[in-house]
Amino acid sequence: MNSFVAVTPYGWEGASARVRVLDWLDRLAPGTVVHSYAGTRDNSPRTLATHAPSAIRAEIQLRTLARARNDRVLIHRGASPFGWGGLETSILKAASFSVYDFDDALQWDGAKRRFAHLFGSNSAKCIQCIRKVDRVVAGNEVLADWAGQFARDVVVIPSCVDPSKYETKSSFELSDPPRLVWIGSSSAEKYLIGIQSALLTIHELTGARLVVVGAPNAILPELARMTDRIPWEVGIAERTLSQFDVGLAPLSDDLYSRGKCAYKVLQYAASGVPVVASSVGANTVATSRCGGLLARSSDDWVDQVMTLLQASVDERQRIASIARREVERSYSFSAWSDRWAFAVGLLDCEPSTREPSER
């Protein structure tokens, strides 16, 4: 019997698995047995086809886990990319104490997937797990409110950053030309397309460049003339974000996006980079607390980015100080350590202080 087993769909290069589980285990429970499926960055059909032996081994190991008795099991999002939740619920029910963690609105994930008949449904899997689990850990209040319909015990813990690992801005003079930054996966670049007219206007007014930290081969056709790319790798955010003038966090205003956890905003803030974000879901709270600006329309995006570009050096430095302080206080691993340890059963007694986000 293992005292604590963690199950994630991705390895260290998968942002949600790393931030929501693996970073925590490194800090608080380094001896934990971890099943990270094939250990890949994602579980797309193409990725799994190139890692077929690892995926087969993972499926065998997960079925063995479903028959084992463990003190505590934590599943993040899902154990396997296949199926409709039956394997996950078997693993959870076999544990003395089970926890399900999610940081996206999987229940409202309406994306059409290739081979959906084989890969199953994220929505069905999420709902199955939440109905069977002893405790749910949700990345924000939107997710927690929804989970509360099916689960008696729901704890909110944001996706955290470690500010001490981020290089912070040392100069607040604008680059020439100004440099706007966006970090994320190729699938999320659709949000940049949603504000492309605003970005092109800002480019015409200032010559600003858009730097995309993400997939090196993705294409934004309308923005190509103003876009530079930096390939994403583990640690790239911590090393490079401080080089830029304004961080961008656009979202569409829909159910799925309202469930997102504002992680981009927190990364920019930890680097001392002023932020403009869509006023959607957790973005709204995190951006406001970190001294950033919110936008709803294309005109808003132009106005808010231009406000930051035209601000004085002292004002941009003031915003950076606010952002860094708020990240340390309300969105850092150290601020949430006791709460997370309690949530996954590593502490028997619930922390007596209020959650940082409620202060």
pLDDT in tens, 94-138: 999 999 999 999 998 865 555 554 567 888 899 999 999 999 999
User: Which tokens belong to 152?
Assistant: 């008696």
pLDDT confidence band for 348 (50 / 70 / 90)? confident
Residue 276 has pLDDT above 60, yes or no: yes
d(C-alpha 250, C-alpha 28), whole Å: 33
Q: Indicate whether 315 and 281 sit together in one domain.
A: yes
| Average pLDDT of the segment spanning 56-61 | 97
pLDDT confidence band for 359 (50 / 70 / 90)? very low
| Average pLDDT of the segment spanning 45-61 | 95
> Would you call 354 exposed, middle or buried from its count of C-beta atoms within 10 A (0-12, 13-18, 19+)?
exposed
Residue 356 has pLDDT above 80, yes or no: no
Q: Which residue has the higher pLDDT, 359 or 335?
A: 335
**Residue 358: predicted pLDDT:** 42
Q: Indicate whether 315 and 339 sit together in one domain.
A: no
DSSP lists the bridge partners of residue 275 as 247
Express each pLDDT in 10-49 by its tens digit: 999 999 999 999 999 999 999 899 999 999 999 988 999 9
CATH number at residue 279: 3.40.50.2000
**Residue 210: predicted pLDDT:** 98
What is the domain count for the chain? Answer: 2
Q: Indicate whether 320 and 213 sit together in one domain.
A: yes
Q: Indicate whether 144 and 195 sit together in one domain.
A: no
Share of the chain above pLDDT 90, in %: 87
d(C-alpha 30, C-alpha 69), whole Å: 21
Please name the helix (run of DSSP H) or strand (run of DSSP E) that holds residue 99, with its range, or none: strand 95-102
**Residue 111: predicted pLDDT:** 58
Q: Indicate whether 123 and 213 sit together in one domain.
A: no
Express each pLDDT in 171-180 by its tens digit: 999 999 999 9
List of residues 6+ apart from 90 with CB closer than 8 A: 66
| Average pLDDT of the segment spanning 246-274 | 97
**Amino acid symbol at 178:** P
Q: What is the mean pLDDT of the chain?
A: 93
Q: Is the dihedral of CA 313, 228, 195, 223 positive or negative?
A: positive
Express each pLDDT in 190-203 by its tens digit: 999 999 999 999 99
Residue 274 has pLDDT above 80, yes or no: yes
Q: Is the dihedral of CA 277, 202, 317, 334 positive or negative?
A: positive
The DSSP line for 281-342 is: THHHHHHHHTT-EEE-SHHHHHHHHHHHHHS-HHHHHHHHHHHHHHHHHHSBHHHHHHHHHH
**Residue 122: predicted pLDDT:** 85
Q: Indicate whether 107 and 129 sit together in one domain.
A: yes
Q: Indicate whether 224 and 268 sit together in one domain.
A: yes
DSSP lists the bridge partners of residue 246 as 180
CB 247 within 8 A of CB 275: yes
ω into 351 cis (within 30 of 0): no
**Residue 218: predicted pLDDT:** 87
Q: Indicate whether 319 and 342 sit together in one domain.
A: no
Q: Indicate whether 294 and 337 sit together in one domain.
A: no
Q: Indicate whether 139 and 192 sit together in one domain.
A: no
Q: Indicate whether 338 and 255 sit together in one domain.
A: no
**Amino acid symbol at 229:** R
Residue range(s) defining the domain that contains residue 212: 163-330
Q: Indicate whether 138 and 167 sit together in one domain.
A: no
Between 115-129, 172-186, 211-225, 308-322, the lowest mean confidence (pLDDT) is in 115-129
**Residue 110: predicted pLDDT:** 66
| Average pLDDT of the segment spanning 288-303 | 98
